[in-house]
A and B are shown apart, each in its own frame.
Chain A
Amino acid sequence: MINIKNLHARIGEREILKGFNLEVKKGEIHAIMGPNGTGKSTLASVIAGKNQYEVTEGSIEFDGQDLLEMEADERARAGVFLAFQYPIEIPGVSTTNFMKAAINEKRKSQGLEPMPAKEFLERMKEKMALVEIDKAFMSRSLNEGFSGGEKKRNEIFQMAMLEPKLAILDETDSGLDIDALRIVSNGVNKLRNSENAFIVITHYQRLLDYIVPDFVHVMYDGRIVKTGGKELALELEEKGYDWVKELV
């Protein structure tokens, strides 16, 4: 699905990713853990195509394509989805219109007509139920005045609507109470299948009780320093991140 090799990226003069390697196959869930400031969110932004980061070395192959050659919108249409750590509030654009535009731009790029209204509404209804969002949210301005939990649920809702091949969840669990965490995880678990993959970035082992990863990677200073199974998360929880620093 995605193969990241020796990725180096910087913002301004500061190098953040320093030789990052990761391969994710179809059907897999990978968790990336690590202390603050090690480059986890930078990794997510670089994959999604945020252009304030400069990739100086390395490659990302996604589904046989050179991802780094693609614009952010092309990446999204090709099946990359980033659930934002801090979803943006956009007054004046409703969630419904946002999703309609996103789905139809993708269809346009595939040479398809816009999705028929009935089909769109049915999909909306189904996915709203999945993340337990009330339909009143759909006509409201995107994320405006939403609580932290509502914003994160909206991210999972968008993911469900767009059915990406690869979804990156950037600290989707931070700031969630236990109910929201359950709803978000439940959404992810229902969406996972043998054809898609997830990269779950988190600080806390707690999320991985709900979303069970196939691999856990520990990231430090811009690259992966340790990889293991789900039990690695428990070990980290117990020993803390200082233990990781000693591994370097």
Chain B
Amino acid sequence: MTDTQNSSSIIETHLAKLNESNDSVNKHKADAITSFMKMGFPTTRHEEWKYTPTLFFSKSELDYRNSYVVKNSEVLEPSVFESINKIVFINGSISLHHSVFTDDIEVHHIDASASHTLFQAHFNTLANNTKEPYVAFNTSFYMQGVFVVVKKNSVLEQPILIEYHDTSEAVDYLQQIRNLIVFESGAHASIIVKHYTKDAVKSLSNEVNELILYPNSHAKIYLIQDNLHEIQNLNTWEIAQERDANCDVFTYSDSGALVRNNLHIAMNAPGLTCDTKAIYLASKKSIIDNHLKIEHKLPHCSSFQLYRGVMNDEGTGVFNGKIHVHVDAQKTDAYQSNKNLLLSKNANIYTKPQLEIFADDVKCSHGAAIGNIDENALFYLIARGISKATAKSMLTVAFANEVIEKLDNEAVKTYVEKAIERALDADIRY
């Protein structure tokens, strides 16, 4: 029996069980399985996955359940950010013992949330189960996750940390996390998501997050994807912005065998703004793929995309930025800029700006560029006694600075500056 046959039979058994139940969540799962079975795992023949070969399991038996039992005695790497609200996962399982939170937020295990009205109203409403194979796969078989509510009018000074600690040395293991986060009206908070990975870990981590922003709420999301080592991280954020809500997303990626970020922001009211920024550094044989889609649905919204990529060694970067301006979205102001620096002959970058504009009175600007380090700039630094390696690092950091200087979270800013230096193996004595 082949692997595929084996996994299909597991899926069919799972589906039969779900269909017997009347539970609404199980209904979502059953529907997702049906659409997942239609799509299957994407190959590089799939347009949206052309440069991103997700390498799947060699194991003959897929284990879709999470078997990891958290030990309270587990000693974790210390958090690099400070906070009084921290949600900790260890090898894909939530650890309440290691987590801490205040009254400003509610945190529930996703399997214990079905009776909550906000959960019922929003769970699986944004996830694109019909078009995104890994989202459907997640909806079908997610193992754990949290349902978080940032309460009405709470203004959190410190960020909410979501930490994924990967300590298991199992090879080929799967983690599927499903989170639903709701910002109630007037809630203001930052969320920092970060993996803490042991270097021996080789897993596939498929995370799907749905974020609902009620009127006048403000979310700042920081995705810090460093030290991922050999992990394949598929990371989806589906965000819906309601009236007067604000949304900023910053992504920093410098590691992992493969990172795929799917960011989709739906601007569902007039006059909204959203701001997306990213720095990605693909070195060794890493593939870092940023797919984003910003949807302007109504008039007077503005969106901003500032993506800077550095590819070294045999690294591959992918940028696919879609701006979709719906027919009613007059006076849209959309800005997109993607610049890439290639530091090695064997590095690759594929950049694809996509503008789909159905309204006639809009301002959409976009620019994509690929280049090498400027030889004249390099010589200028070297001619002052700076070694070639340091000069290259300085110019690379300078390139990323365009994004860094726009970050408003000092802790993230400092951390990312250091992470870039580490990733470039740079000795910059500032």
Q: Evaluate contact between A101 and B390: CB separation under 8 angstroms.
A: yes
In the assembled complex, the CB of A41 is this many whole angstroms from the nearest CB of chain B, namely: 13
Q: Evaluate contact between A92 and B401: CB separation under 8 angstroms.
A: yes
Q: Which residue of B lies closest to A89 (CB)?
A: B377
**Proximity string of chain B (361-403) to chain A, C-beta cutoff 8 Å, 1 when within and 0 when not:** 0000000000000101101111111111011001101111110
Q: Evaluate contact between A73 and B386: CB separation under 8 angstroms.
A: yes
Residues of chain B contacted by A104 (CB below 8 angstroms): 429
Number of A-B residue pairs, CB cutoff 8 Å, is 83
Q: Is B428 positioned at the interface, with any CB of A under 8 Å from its CB? A: yes
Q: Evaluate contact between B380 and A88: CB separation under 8 angstroms.
A: yes
Within 8 A of B (CB), among A46-101: 48-50, 71-73, 76-77, 81-82, 84, 87-88, 90-93, 97-98, 100-101
Q: Evaluate contact between A76 and B385: CB separation under 8 angstroms.
A: yes
Q: Is A240 positioned at the interface, with any CB of B under 8 Å from its CB? A: no
In the assembled complex, the CB of A120 is this many whole angstroms from the nearest CB of chain B, namely: 11
Separation of A72 and B388 alpha carbons in the complex (Å):
9
Residues of chain B contacted by A223 (CB below 8 angstroms): none
Residues of chain B contacted by A90 (CB below 8 angstroms): 377, 380-381, 395, 398
Q: Is A102 positioned at the interface, with any CB of B under 8 Å from its CB? A: yes
How many of chain B's residues have a CB under 8 angstroms from any CB in A? Answer: 26
In the assembled complex, the CB of A35 is this many whole angstroms from the nearest CB of chain B, namely: 25
Contact partner of A158 among B382, B384, B397, CB < 8 A? Answer: B384
Residues of chain B contacted by A158 (CB below 8 angstroms): 384
Residues of chain A contacted by B377 (CB below 8 angstroms): 88, 90
Separation of A81 and B380 alpha carbons in the complex (Å):
11
Q: Which residue of A lies closest to B399 (CB)?
A: A92
Q: Is A114 positioned at the interface, with any CB of B under 8 Å from its CB? A: yes
In the assembled complex, the CB of A39 is this many whole angstroms from the nearest CB of chain B, namely: 19
**Proximity string of chain B (390-427) to chain A, C-beta cutoff 8 Å, 1 when within and 0 when not:** 11001101111110000000000000000000000000
Q: Is A203 positioned at the interface, with any CB of B under 8 Å from its CB? A: no
Q: Evaluate contact between A76 and B429: CB separation under 8 angstroms.
A: no
Contact partner of B380 among A49, A84, A105, CB < 8 A? Answer: A84
Contact partner of B384 among A91, A102, A108, A109, CB < 8 A? Answer: A102
Residues of chain B contacted by A102 (CB below 8 angstroms): 381, 384-386
In the assembled complex, the CB of B160 is this many whole angstroms from the nearest CB of chain A, namely: 31
How many of chain A's residues have a CB under 8 angstroms from any CB in B? Answer: 31
Q: Which residue of A lies closest to B385 (CB)?
A: A76
Contact partner of A105 among B376, B386, B400, CB < 8 A? Answer: B386
Separation of A48 and B381 alpha carbons in the complex (Å):
12
Q: Evaluate contact between A105 and B385: CB separation under 8 angstroms.
A: yes
Q: Evaluate contact between A98 and B384: CB separation under 8 angstroms.
A: yes
Residues of chain B contacted by A77 (CB below 8 angstroms): 385
Q: Is A162 positioned at the interface, with any CB of B under 8 Å from its CB? A: yes
Residues of chain A contacted by B430 (CB below 8 angstroms): 97, 100-101
Q: Evaluate contact between A100 and B380: CB separation under 8 angstroms.
A: no
Separation of A123 and B381 alpha carbons in the complex (Å):
20
Q: Evaluate contact between B394 and A101: CB separation under 8 angstroms.
A: yes
In the assembled complex, the CB of B220 is this many whole angstroms from the nearest CB of chain A, namely: 23
Residues of chain A contacted by B399 (CB below 8 angstroms): 92
Q: Evaluate contact between A101 and B386: CB separation under 8 angstroms.
A: yes
Kindly name the residue among B384, B387, B391 whose own CB sees the greatest number of chain A CB atoms within 10 A. Answer: B384
Q: Evaluate contact between B397 and A76: CB separation under 8 angstroms.
A: no
Q: Evaluate contact between A105 and B402: CB separation under 8 angstroms.
A: no
Q: Evaluate contact between A93 and B398: CB separation under 8 angstroms.
A: yes
Contact partner of A88 among B376, B386, B428, CB < 8 A? Answer: B376
Q: Is A165 positioned at the interface, with any CB of B under 8 Å from its CB? A: no
Residues of chain B contacted by A93 (CB below 8 angstroms): 381, 394-395, 398
Kindly name the residue among A50, A114, A162 whose own CB sees the greatest number of chain B CB atoms within 10 A. Answer: A50
In the assembled complex, the CB of B306 is this many whole angstroms from the nearest CB of chain A, namely: 14
In the assembled complex, the CB of B99 is this many whole angstroms from the nearest CB of chain A, namely: 38
Within 8 A of A (CB), among B135-163: none
In the assembled complex, the CB of B8 is this many whole angstroms from the nearest CB of chain A, namely: 52
* A100-B429, A100-B430, A105-B387 known; A72+B382 contact, CB < 8 A: yes
Residues of chain A contacted by B381 (CB below 8 angstroms): 90, 93, 98, 101-102
Q: Is A106 positioned at the interface, with any CB of B under 8 Å from its CB? A: yes
Contact partner of A73 among B382, B400, B401, B402, CB < 8 A? Answer: B382
Q: Evaluate contact between A162 and B402: CB separation under 8 angstroms.
A: no
Residues of chain B contacted by A71 (CB below 8 angstroms): 382, 388
Separation of A77 and B398 alpha carbons in the complex (Å):
23
Q: Evaluate contact between A72 and B429: CB separation under 8 angstroms.
A: no
In the assembled complex, the CB of A21 is this many whole angstroms from the nearest CB of chain B, namely: 24
The 8 closest A-B pairs by CB, nearest first: A92-B398, A76-B385, A92-B401, A102-B384, A88-B380, A77-B385, A104-B429, A93-B398
**Can you list 23 contacts pairing A with B, beta carbon distance less than 8 Å?**
A49-B383, A50-B379, A71-B388, A72-B379, A73-B382, A73-B386, A73-B391, A76-B384, A76-B385, A82-B383, A88-B374, A90-B377, A91-B401, A91-B402, A92-B397, A92-B398, A92-B402, A97-B430, A98-B394, A101-B386, A102-B384, A109-B385, A114-B429
List 14 additional contacts besides A72-B379, A82-B383, A109-B385; criterion CB under 8 Å: A49-B382, A71-B388, A76-B383, A77-B385, A90-B377, A90-B381, A91-B401, A92-B397, A92-B401, A97-B394, A101-B381, A101-B386, A105-B387, A106-B385
